Amino acid sequence: MSNVMDETRSTLGLVDTVISADKLTQSTRAAVEVFIAAGTPASTMRSYRSALTYWAAWLQVRYDRALADGGLPPEIAAQFIVDHLERPYGEDNLHQLLPPHLDAALVLAGVKGKRGPLAYTTVCHRLAVITKWHELKGWDSPCAHPSVKTLLRAARNSQARQGVTVRKKNALLLEPLEALIATCTDGVRGIRDRALLLLAWSGGGRSGSEVTSLRIEDLRQVDADTWLFALGTVTTEDPAVASEKPLVGPAAWALSDWLAVAPASSGPLFRRLYRGGVVSTDALSSEQVASIVKHRAALAGLEGDWAAHSLRSGFVMEAGRQGVPLDEVMAMTEYRCVMSVMGYLRAGSLLNSRAASLMESGTAKNSAPASRGSGEGSDQ
């Protein structure tokens, strides 16, 4: 096996570019421990671990440095972008700056699936993870530098001109949400899925990891029409204070129905089901929450790209459509950045705006009978 690896490295020109597995493991483990100490959900940690492992490997072959060596300068973040995103090269070609032998080394180390550029969304996710890593370490984030933001925006525009589009998940506004709920008629599974969908949506657009992290102990019933659920340390800044969110009306009733068919005094709130509707003691995973959304959307006959995030974006867009004040939306969602909310909120508010329906308004005005004015010219 060793001879085969040596031959592969020689063929790829990797004699001097070999990733140290020991250094990679140590660097990633140290970074992961920082995220765990910060209370990052296990489901989120899986994607974070993958991103941190890649950063550790790339830094090793590109700069011969480790994650723990200190904060990264903006120049390294910029290099990460141009190394992994395609850019125009010549008349009809796209090109990335990551040298082929380094690209091959990353693949050989198992941190990259195949040679070539990464998707724009993947690069953005890895930049977001390294930003979070710097925040937890108390370092200035290289991604916050204006030059890096400008480069990333330019890279996205460049890819768009080349026909590479960034797809977003469909947002579950009120009407499609009701269509999903209408499919929840299949016994215990339907009761669970209805409660999950309504809690995640009505409870502030909760993420898949927040939903699967909820436990029976996090619930408090106020009355027959109201429940409170605590998010704990998943999203709050002070671990000693649990952030409670309300569930009222249909969402509260759906939760009561689920607790009636799956009674428990402790443990995961939303659990897996065996055949025959037997409730397990194991919690659902974030991936299963996404599968539930997709499955219910398919049953409802809804086209589009649906996922767990559809609940979160849909809640904010619907809030914008119904004119809910920004501070109330921020309080329910617990978004820390106003700009993260404003995109969805504005999109929702525009759905009911007069600016979006000028043609309809103009047609109605032009077709109105003359007698609606001053009464002049009426044929009495």
In a domain, 1, yes or no: no
- Domain assignment present for residue 113? The answer is yes
Q: How confident is the model at residue 362 (pLDDT cuts 50, 70, 90)?
A: low
When pLDDT is cut at 50, 70 and 90, the band that residue 371 belongs to is very low
pLDDT band at 227 (very low <50, low <70, confident <90, very high): very high
Q: Is the pLDDT of residue 237 over 80?
A: no
Residue 363 lies in a domain: no
In a domain, 330, yes or no: yes
**pTM value surpassing 0.75:** no
- Higher pLDDT, residue 213 or 241: 213
Range of the domain at 29: 11-161
Q: In CATH, what number is assigned to the domain containing residue 227?
A: 1.10.443.10
Instruction: Give the number of domains in the chain.
Output: 2
Overall average pLDDT of the 37-58 stretch = 81
Residues 81 and 180 in one domain: no
Q: To which residue do tokens 């509260």 refer?
A: 252
| Cα–Cα dist 153/220, whole Å | 45
Residues 215 and 333 in one domain: yes
pLDDT at position 55 is 95
Q: Which helix (H) or strand (E) holds 245?
A: strand 244-248
Residues with Cβ within 8 Å of residue 153, at least 6 apart in sequence? none
Calculate mean pLDDT across residues 321-349.
Answer: 82
* pLDDT at 334 (0 to 100): 83
Q: Mean pLDDT over all residues of the chain? A: 82
Residue 293's SS3 state is: helix
Same domain, 188 and 153: no
In terms of phi and psi (left: phi > 0; alpha: psi -120 to 50; beta: otherwise), the region of 128 is: alpha
Does residue 218 fall inside a structural domain?
A: yes
| Tens of pLDDT, residues 169-217 | 789 999 999 999 999 999 999 999 999 999 999 999 998 888 998 999 9
Verify that 196 and 147 share a domain, yes or no. no
